[in-house]
């Protein structure tokens, strides 16, 4: 019997790989996207494309939903207008998604919805599990409200998993792509003190974790989708420099980042020493548990 899945954010850095992997596993995919159909198919493979959730009204529905949509949190400086756009692209869309589910003849068995370790706010160097209490700031409030919107689907009898993803490494895009040129030119270095933790994870492990949540009927609630070996920013930049055989001797001072980026500089100057406590306890295994291997694959 055909397994039908609706994906938002399918054209993104994670979504493109996820779509192709799901298709290879026999899922029939529908991608919600504002991009032209031919572009979506080029990025995502053999998928159906809809431009509006209203197009799902009156349909039989989907067996599962993966919700990854959201504008890039580090793409633009955080003005009030930008913060609202970040909220609308995550929270408002997720509310609309859950509302659409109510109209489907068949409710999905599971909703796997995006979130981020930013839900914990700045945590210094303490170990962060899914049980850690948050520090209240913009990233926490954004992720908290995003998760709450997804959890509304539980009232419809839908199993909900929340993917609290870290900084994703992989080839051909993502944050690492922005770092490569200065590092290749020998202009890289730590950010601020470098003591802040970077909860990194390889894209292949994110995709595998999302599918694990999708297919594991016992999985529900929040999961930290991060490597089991978190590192500081200084350790990360040294590792990247080694992989590229370049020096990393030009740090970016905190005051310069704050002047240039404003409040958004907190994304770079604070962090979480997050670990995948629940994933590991429940049997998930990482393909890239160590940073050097993940970076080596990502920059080739």
The pLDDT profile of the chain, 300 residues, written as one tens digit per residue, is 689 999 999 999 999 999 999 999 999 999 999 999 999 999 999 999 999 998 887 678 899 999 999 999 999 999 999 999 999 999 999 999 999 999 898 899 999 999 999 999 999 999 999 999 999 999 999 999 999 999 999 999 999 999 999 999 999 888 888 888 888 888 889 999 999 999 999 999 999 999 999 999 999 999 999 999 999 999 999 999 999 999 888 889 898 989 989 999 999 999 999 999 999 999 999 999 999 999 999 997
What pTM, to 2 d.p., does this model score? 0.96
Half-sphere exposure of 275 (CA within 13 A, CB side): 11
Q: Residues near 9 by Cβ (< 8 Å), separated by ≥ 6?
A: 15, 66, 67, 68, 69, 70, 114
Angstrom CA distances, 40 to 16, 253, 290, stand at: 9, 40, 33
Return d(Cα 191, Cα 256) in angstroms, integer: 10
Query: Which class for 26: exposed (0-12), middle (13-18), buried (19 or more C-beta within 10 A)?
Result: exposed
Return d(Cα 9, Cα 179) in angstroms, integer: 23
Half-sphere exposure of 204 (CA within 13 A, CB side): 11
């Amino acid at each position: 019997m055909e397994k039908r899945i609706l994906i938002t954010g399918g054209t993104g850095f994670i979504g493109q790989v996820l779509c192709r992997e799901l298709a290879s596993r026999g899922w029939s995919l529908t991608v919600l996207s504002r991009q032209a159909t031919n572009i979506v198919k080029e990025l995502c493979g053999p998928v159906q494309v809809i431009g509006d959730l209203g197009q799902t009204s009156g349909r039989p529905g989907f067996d599962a939903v993966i919700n990854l949509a959201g504008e890039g949190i580090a793409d633009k400086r955080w003005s009030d207008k930008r913060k609202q756009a970040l909220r609308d692209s995550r929270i408002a869309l997720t509310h609309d998604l859950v509302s659409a589910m109510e109209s489907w003849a068949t409710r999905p068995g599971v909703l796997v919805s995006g979130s981020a370790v930013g839900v914990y706010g700045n945590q210094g160097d303490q170990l962060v599990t899914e049980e850690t209490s948050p520090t209240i700031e913009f990233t926490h409030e954004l992720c908290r409200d995003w998760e709450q919107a997804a959890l509304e689907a539980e009232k419809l009898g839908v199993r909900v998993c929340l993917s609290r993803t870290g900084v994703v490494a992989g080839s051909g895009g993502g944050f690492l792509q922005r770092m490569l040129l200065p590092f290749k030119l020998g202009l890289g270095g730590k950010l601020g003190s470098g003591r802040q933790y970077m909860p990194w994870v390889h894209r292949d492990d994110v995709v595998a974790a999302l599918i694990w949540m999708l297919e594991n009927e016992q999985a529900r609630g929040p999961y930290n989708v991060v490597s089991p070996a978190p590192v500081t920013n200084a350790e990360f930049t040294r590792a990247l420099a080694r992989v590229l055989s370049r020096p990393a001797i030009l740090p970016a001072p905190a005051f310069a980042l704050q002047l240039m980026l404003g409040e958004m500089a907190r994304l770079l100057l604070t962090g979480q020493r997050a670990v995948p406590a629940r994933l590991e306890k429940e049997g998930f295994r990482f393909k890239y548990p160590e940073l050097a291997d993940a970076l080596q694959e990502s920059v080739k």
